[in-house]
């Protein structure tokens, strides 16, 4: 369980390094309902018309875009990787129907070596899927500028 927080701390450190300020430019653990209420955007395509309450690890808000972000890093293989890849593929398709919202996924780890096909399938669909190396090379600034 602690690994979840380490990966979120890592991503947050890169977000902060991009000169974004917490609770002004980016937010942590925001639900679909909180995003909708904060910026008057309809996310019902993601929430199954309000029936599910998805929580995103991070949300970055710029003048003209909302970036909803998930982070997952896998040290070992298992069914969770395949389930996550399928789930994020679905979210990608749903978000594509919402103007002004972009889904971003930061993922990495040895676990993906055995689940390469599922990751590749999601990679083909999801424009914004990045690794730790991408974070180290300033991808956050490139995405939001």
CATH number reported for the structural domain that contains residue 110 in this entry: 3.30.70.2640
Give me the phi and psi of 76, to 5 degrees please. -140, 165
Per the CB < 8 A criterion, the answer to whether 91 and 103 are in contact is: yes
Per the CB < 8 A criterion, the answer to whether 58 and 25 are in contact is: no
**pLDDT > 80? residue 71:** yes
Residue with tokens 């424009």: 127
Domains: count for the chain: 1
Confidence of residue 64 (pLDDT cuts 50, 70, 90): very high
Taking alpha carbons only, the member of 71, 2, 59 closest to residue 27 is: 59
Structural domain of residue 41, as residue ranges?
Answer: 2-144
**Which carries the bigger pLDDT value, residue 106 or residue 7?**
106
Q: Mean pLDDT over residues 102-110, rounded?
A: 90
How remote is the C-alpha of 80 from its chain's centroid?
16
Show the CA angle centred on residue 56, arms to residues 137 and 143, nearest 5°. 30
pLDDT recorded at residue 1: 40
Q: List, in order, residues 6 or more apart from 63 with CB less than 8 Å away.
A: none
């Amino acid at each position: 369980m602690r690994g979840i927080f380490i990966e979120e701390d890592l991503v947050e450190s890169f977000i902060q390094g991009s000169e974004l300020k917490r609770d002004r430019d980016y937010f942590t653990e925001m639900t679909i309902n909180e995003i909708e209420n904060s910026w008057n955007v309809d996310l019902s395509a993601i929430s199954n018309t309000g029936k599910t309450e998805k929580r995103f690890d991070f949300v970055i808000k710029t003048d003209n875009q909302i970036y909803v972000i998930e982070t997952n890093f896998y040290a070992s293989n298992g069914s969770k990787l395949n389930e996550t890849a399928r789930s994020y593929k679905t979210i990608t398709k749903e978000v594509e129907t919402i103007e002004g919202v972009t889904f971003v996924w930061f993922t990495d780890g040895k676990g993906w070596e055995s689940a390469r096909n599922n990751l590749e399938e999601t990679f083909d669909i999801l424009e914004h899927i990045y690794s730790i190396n991408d974070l180290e090379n300033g991808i956050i600034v490139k995405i939001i500028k």
